[in-house]
Amino acid sequence: MIHSWLSKLATSGSHGGIIGNDRLWLIVAAVAWLAAVVAILPLGYGRDSDTYYMLRTWQYFVHAGKYVPSREPGFPFAEFSIGFAASLAGAWLSNLVMAVCAIASAVLAYLLALKLEVARPKLVAALFLANPWIMVQSVTSMDYMLGFVCLLGGMVAVLHGRLLPGVVLLAIAVGTRMPLLFYAGAFLWLASRSRLVPDLRFGEAFVALFFISGLFYLPVWTASSLRFDWLTASWIDDQGLTARLARLAIKPPRLFGLLPSLAALGVLAMLWRRGVLGLPWRASFAARLSLAMVVITLAIYARLPTDISYMIFLIPFLGMLLIEMGAVPVLQVLAVGGLVTAVVDIDPIEILSRDGDECGWLVRSARLSPHFIAGPVLAEVQEYDRGEACYRKLLLVDYASANSPVP
């Protein structure tokens, strides 16, 4: 019975009852996303120390007239954009900018899937909006959504034949987060080989992409006395292979929630046994592009498996890949799981900090002990003041309140 339902659902159209109504899926996801944004937006800068480092970079601009990267290798476009918005009206404005970028990214994910002739593009946007880490980053003054909207916007522009605006947007994405160079370069190479854009020549486009995006990094290059030792990032090599493997085993499934990810794997296995799955690699540019983006994301995360938010760039592409494979039920399980995980999640590891360490900087030990915790959205609401308590001291000049202009 379950096998029959899965097979029927995998091949159903966008109006096949409640479960198959793509518009309903999108509406539910959008409402949940909006509720998360409304709850978090006025609470300040959040719990990510990197936000405060970027505000400090802006203050170096204003008070010292020099560029000091928030962290290596530098995130220049985001540092300037977020700092400028915060200097005008504080956290509520810089957070609102991220929310606008996020909803624009959802629209662009839909348009990208539509252009690539993915059968159910509304589900791609729904999966994006239903993810709890997307919800949090949509209203956190960080670089993710700035990079995301430029990356997807550049792809859509290029596929519509607008090569110059497309390459410029892709370059701005790289100027926001340097690892997006891998995404942008892979996209241009695949698009040039697919002949979807007849005028696209990969060599010329990539040189333009590399040069324009490189301009964003001139400040950090000159600040490093024209050396290239800034072309690095934080690593965790000192934690050993065991710690890396443990992170790779535990953290990626938590992108959608541990139990939802396991359920999705189970549904995927059932669909495979029913013989309804396929991967139209040769016929579908959407499948090739999506698989490449997912692999790039996982490869980057394997090098630095720390923050789960690093993996959010694969979400719309995973949605398109699952649709192209005929695995729509898997996508829907992940979407539902994301909505649930936003509120409650299961953490398989219990991390113990030293007594008196409220910020969790001094880890004493970690042990395997599955337990329920607040999901990313609920945790952000409940612990919003932790960021100020732990990281406000990083600023060069303190502010009167989070929602007042940064001095």
Query: What pLDDT was estimated at residue 302?
Result: 87
- What H or E segment, with its residue span, contains residue 88? helix 76-89
What is the C-alpha to C-alpha distance for residues 336 and 74, in angstroms, rounded to an integer?
36
pLDDT along the chain (407 residues), means of 10: 48 54 96 98 92 96 91 91 96 97 98 96 98 97 97 98 97 96 97 90 96 93 81 64 72 91 95 87 90 96 87 97 96 97 88 63 65 93 88 93 94
Query: What pLDDT was estimated at residue 247?
Result: 75
**How long a stretch of residues is the chain?**
407
Determine phi and psi for 349, rounding to 5 degrees: -120, 135
Query: What pLDDT was estimated at residue 318?
Result: 98
Query: What pLDDT was estimated at residue 306?
Result: 82
Look at the block and give the residue holding tokens 């990626």.
Answer: 252
Is beta strand 15-16 parallel, antiparallel or unpaired with respect to 363-374? unpaired
**Two structure tokens written together for 250:** 């535990």
CA distances from 207 to 181, 293, 296 (A): 12, 21, 20
| Residue of 164, 167, 176, 162 lying closest to 210 (CA atoms) | 167
What is the C-alpha to C-alpha distance for residues 295 and 372, in angstroms, rounded to an integer?
30
User: By three-state DSSP, how is residue 361 classified?
Assistant: coil
- What H or E segment, with its residue span, contains residue 344? strand 344-353
What is the DSSP secondary-structure string of 285-304? HHHHHHHHHHHHHHHHHHHS
The answer to whether residues 341 and 257 touch, using CB atoms and an 8 Å cutoff, is yes
What is the C-alpha to C-alpha distance for residues 309 and 312, in angstroms, rounded to an integer?
5
The answer to whether residues 70 and 79 touch, using CB atoms and an 8 Å cutoff, is yes
What is the C-alpha to C-alpha distance for residues 260 and 338, in angstroms, rounded to an integer?
8
**Two structure tokens written together for 401:** 């309140």
**Two structure tokens written together for 349:** 């590891």
Beta bridge partners of 368: 349
What is the C-alpha to C-alpha distance for residues 68 and 220, in angstroms, rounded to an integer?
7
Query: What pLDDT was estimated at residue 347?
Result: 85
List CB contacts of 125: < 8 A, sequence separation 6 or more.
Answer: 26, 29, 106, 107, 109, 110, 113, 316
